[in-house]
């Protein structure tokens, strides 16, 4: 699998030796090579399996947005100027690409409620130039809070770190508040928009919350080391949507398998490169969901997680 930033970002000199110009895929990565590199590599690997190899019969141009909305918007406009054949992206990159072009096909590897956010007309018939894989953030947020209650039965208040720049945040917050009311716990929504906002938000947590729910998207993913370091020092249990947060020392994650989503996005891209139109390609949803628990983090926090709960996990990091 292609994993290194150098390998992912390189463009082969073979293009100059080809007589026919290969199609160009503009990969607008919402995060960084550290946060999204493995997902991008899964896309590249699957794309090669279905017949498109970077440097041979397709050219992939990469732009890394690092969770910066302004930078992502500029990259989307750049791809339009370059007249790429298809744009592949996720998260806020979907909004930026949609705003930049109504003609270049767009494939999103992961996005929230694409219908509610006006990205597509319907799941079955998207219409327009956008298709891909949609997750349902409100439903998942409710499940995560239930899992948090199972691990921390005495939780009475929790903080939710959410990036208000991300268009899917509305459904996420609705789901968080609804689940909190049902579980009879207090929800404190901490709004952020930049990396600097994260520092200020995290500084308010000590002694004020029993757990931290992190809305997992490119900005928080790119800054996960900082988030986890502060939460661990304050002995605050954490729950996330991406397993990468748990690999980095977070307590628990539950959500769609993003390696699988990005690999499946390559299949959409393949069809478009062969002549299909996004308007007629139904939006798909995740089929793999993972519950990951970091037992080392639990022990550091003084949490005893029952064997019954551990058996529910898809993976336990020890």
| Domain harbouring 229, CATH code | 3.40.50.2300
Tokens of residue 299, six digits = 């022990």
| pLDDT tens digits, 154-177 | 899 999 999 998 766 777 888 899
Tokens of residue 307, six digits = 């064997």
Q: How many structural domains is the chain composed of?
A: 2
Tokens of residue 64, six digits = 């890394």
Q: Do 131 and 197 sit in the same domain of this protein?
A: no
Would you state the pLDDT for residue 135?
A: 85
Q: Do 125 and 176 sit in the same domain of this protein?
A: no
| pLDDT tens digits, 8-67 | 443 334 434 445 799 999 999 999 998 999 999 999 999 999 999 999 999 999 999 999
* Rounded Cα gap, residues 162 and 26, in angstroms: 28
Q: For residue 7, is pLDDT > 80?
A: no
Q: Do 295 and 266 sit in the same domain of this protein?
A: no
Q: Do 121 and 108 sit in the same domain of this protein?
A: yes
Percent of the chain past pLDDT 90, that is, above it, reads 79
| pLDDT tens digits, 59-107 | 999 999 999 999 999 999 999 999 999 999 999 999 999 999 999 999 9
Pairing status of strand 238-240 against strand 106-111: unpaired
Q: Do 142 and 129 sit in the same domain of this protein?
A: no
Tokens 């990005």 found at: 262
14 or 270, which is more confident? 270
- Which is nearest to 105 in space by CA: 162, 26, 39, 163? 26
Would you state the pLDDT for residue 9?
A: 44
Domain that holds residue 167: 137-256+290-317
Q: For the chain, how big is the Rg over CA atoms in Å?
A: 20
Backbone φ, ψ for residue 81 (5° rounding): -65, -35
- Rounded to an integer, the average pLDDT of 296-314 is 94
Q: Do 266 and 198 sit in the same domain of this protein?
A: no
Q: Do 36 and 121 sit in the same domain of this protein?
A: yes
- Which is nearest to 187 in space by CA: 164, 154, 163, 155? 155
Q: How does DSSP classify residue 87?
A: E
Would you state the pLDDT for residue 138?
A: 66
Would you state the pLDDT for residue 300?
A: 92
Band (314; pLDDT cuts 50, 70, 90): very high
Q: Do 113 and 237 sit in the same domain of this protein?
A: no
Pairing status of strand 106-111 against strand 86-89: parallel
Q: Do 244 and 263 sit in the same domain of this protein?
A: no
Which are the contacts of 2, defined by CB distance < 8 A and separation ≥ 6?
8, 40, 41, 44, 45
Q: Do 44 and 128 sit in the same domain of this protein?
A: yes
* Rounded Cα gap, residues 163 and 31, in angstroms: 14
Q: Do 177 and 296 sit in the same domain of this protein?
A: yes
Q: What is the pTM of this model?
A: 0.86
Band (3; pLDDT cuts 50, 70, 90): very low
**What does the longest C-alpha to C-alpha distance in the chain come to?**
67
């Amino acid at each position: 699998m292609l994993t290194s930033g150098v390998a992912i970002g390189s463009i082969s000199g073979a293009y100059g030796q080809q007589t026919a110009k290969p199609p160009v895929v503009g990969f607008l990565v919402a995060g960084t090579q550290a946060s999204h590199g493995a997902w991008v590599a899964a896309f590249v690997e699957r794309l090669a399996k279905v017949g498109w190899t970077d440097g041979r019969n397709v050219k992939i141009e990469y732009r890394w947005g690092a969770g910066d909305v302004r930078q992502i918007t500029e990259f989307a406009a750049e791809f339009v100027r370059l007249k790429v054949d298809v744009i592949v992206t996720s998260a806020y990159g979907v909004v930026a690409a949609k705003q930049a072009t109504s003609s270049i096909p767009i494939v999103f590897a992961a996005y929230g409620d694409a219908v509610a956010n006006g990205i597509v007309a319907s799941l079955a018939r998207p219409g327009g130039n956008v298709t891909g894989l949609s997750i349902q953030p409100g439903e998942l947020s409710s499940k995560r809070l239930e899992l948090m209650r199972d691990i921390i039965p005495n939780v009475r208040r929790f903080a939710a770190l959410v990036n208000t720049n991300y268009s899917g945040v509305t459904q996420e917050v609705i789901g968080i508040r609804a689940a909190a009311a049902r579980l009879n716990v207090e929800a404190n929504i901490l709004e952020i928009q930049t990396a600097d906002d994260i520092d200020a938000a995290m500084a308010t947590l000590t002694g004020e919350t029993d757990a931290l729910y992190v809305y997992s998207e490119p900005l928080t993913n790119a800054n996960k080391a900082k988030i986890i370091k502060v939460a661990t020092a304050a002995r605050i249990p954490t729950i996330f949507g991406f397993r990468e947060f748990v690999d980095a020392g977070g307590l628990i994650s539950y959500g769609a398998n993003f390696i699988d989503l990005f690999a499946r996005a390559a299949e959409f891209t393949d069809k478009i490169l062969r002549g299909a139109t996004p308007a007629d390609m139904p939006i798909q949803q995740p089929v793999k969901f993972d519950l990951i628990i970091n037992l080392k983090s639990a022990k550091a926090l003084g949490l005893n997680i029952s064997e019954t709960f551990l058996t529910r996990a898809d993976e336990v990091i020890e």
